[in-house]
Amino acid sequence: MKYVFPQNFFWGSAASGPQMEGAAAVDGRKPSIWDHWYNIEPERFFDQVGPENTSNFYYQYKEDIALMKQLGHNSFRTSIQWTRLIPDGVGEVNPKAVTFYNHVIDELIANGIEPFITLYHFDMPLSMQEKGGFESREVVNAYVLFAETCFKLFGDRVKYWFTFNEPIVPVEAGYLYDMHYPNVVDFKRAVQVAFGTTLAHARAVERYHELALDGQIGIVLNLTPSYPRSQNPADVKAAHIADLFFNRSFLDPVTKGEFPADLVEIIREHDFLPEYQLNDLEIIRQNKIDFLGVNYYQPRRVKAKENLPNPEAPFMPEHLFDNYAMPNRKMNRYRGWEIYEKAMYDICINLRDNYHNLPFYISENGMGVEGEDRYRNEEGFIDDSYRINFMKEHLKWLNKAILEGANCHGYHLWTFIDCWSWANAYKNRYGLVEVDLANHYKRIIKSSGYWYKDLAQNNGFCID
């Protein structure tokens, strides 16, 4: 079987500034919430490895971009760190950061690699979090100024912008489930953060379009299809509710300009509606995205509630459904995530049929594995055939969706080089290229890197 993709398809990888740049406390960069959280609770991080220990891209971007070209990349997504460009969140722009990001963008373009730039990838400046993060209108305003600064500085060369990466994650992890800083467990505050983020996004889209730059702006959403345990109406309803909370809460307002009516009704019924101003909803309605980034890693499986929630417990979305572990599911046991490749197809068809078939890119998809060193072969590099198989099986379903009319224009693997991954640090490796933790300057291409080069050069792949 031969799987061929459309002409001018974007093949590349994705990363983020805070996860790969390093140089966390040099050249004017100031602390983010990750630096602060590590300083006060290092035990919450795997092996107590903090955000200063990343992949050294700040110093090795030329060599790394040359490696990207060697591995067939014609595009690469990364982010601009707010803490590096405007270290206090508002106010003076850091000239050393401007020089660095200009050099990165120019180097990518010189190597035939299209830069896809994300503005916010979980890295809230500590000074902004102290003002309330996206609960605060002051911080929303500061983010919009940061976005405008980026557009004016780099928009002559960057043609593809994303306002946020996975905005549901800070809501879930930071304000519901005590997984990320600020470690809040409060549904009402989570709703306020989600609304503030949506408003910040819409205002950044508005500002970008007002500048009339030659490019597109969108957002990256991690879409996790919600599958019911059965077709029993109670299970189907439970899956619908989960989809409202974890997918459509952001997908609908950024593409259709409105929040799902049944989600609004649930939030109103529990008295958790956010505070907002009269024109906020109109701003969200008018400023829809040009294109979408889709991150896909795992599905969500859901069933109807089996027991009533404790009425004294803080409200959570799971008060309305139960998660379901499907028997005999395929798992990435290192990450604890189900591997379900067909969901890639289901996402694409949903966008085709229910979201005006808007243009989109697979902006992340990948497999993290712990202890990869045990797969090192006699030639000295990691033979990660499991990662190659993971890509093949997902790309088969992506190809099928494209042949059936899905408007997908590219695929970005997570990630180019092993990177620091939030509280998981370096527990799981995702890269096409290995970084040596004993010497962050050393890179070794894995088997998947060579396979990816062939994939990109042939604009597809064959399976015997």
**Residue that is written with structure tokens 């996860």 in the block:** 19
> What is the C-alpha separation between 333 and 387, in angstroms, rounded?
14
Q: Which residues of 399-420 are buried (b: 16+ CB within 10 A; e: fewer)?
A: bbbbeeebbbbbbbbbbbbbbb
Catalytic annotation, pick one of 135, 364, 372, 434: 364
**Rounded to whole angstroms, how far apart are CA atoms 344 and 365?**
10
Which tokens is 337 given?
């995530």
458 φ, ψ (degrees, to nearest 5): -95, -5
- 364 a catalytic residue: yes
Residue 2, helix vs strand vs coil? strand
The one catalytic residue in 114, 166, 341, 372 is 166
For 198, list phi and psi in degrees, rounded to 5.
Answer: -65, -40
The 3-class secondary structure across 397-420, one letter per residue, is: HHHHHHHCCCCEEEEEEECCECCC
How many CB atoms sit inside 10 A of residue 338's CB?
Answer: 17
Compute the distance between CA of residue 377 and CA of residue 73 in angstroms, rounded to an integer: 25
Centroid of chain to Cα 97: 23
Q: What is the DSSP letter of 56?
A: -
DSSP assigned state of 423:
G
Q: What's the CA gap between 226 and 242, in Å, rounded?
A: 6
| C-alpha 40, offset from chain centre | 26
Beta strands in 183-306 (DSSP E): 216-222, 226-228, 291-295, 300-303
Tokens matching residue 448: 């998947």
Query: If DSSP codes are grouped into helix, strand and coil, which group holds residue 302?
Result: strand
Cα–Cα distance between 218 and 285 in angstroms, integer?
A: 15
Look up tokens 């797969």; give the residue.
375
User: What's the length of the chain?
Assistant: 464
Contacts of 143 (CB under 8 A, 6+ apart): 82, 119, 120, 128, 134, 200, 204
- Candidates 275, 269, 439, 297; CA nearest to 366 is 297
CA 451 to chain centre: 24
Active site residues: 166, 364
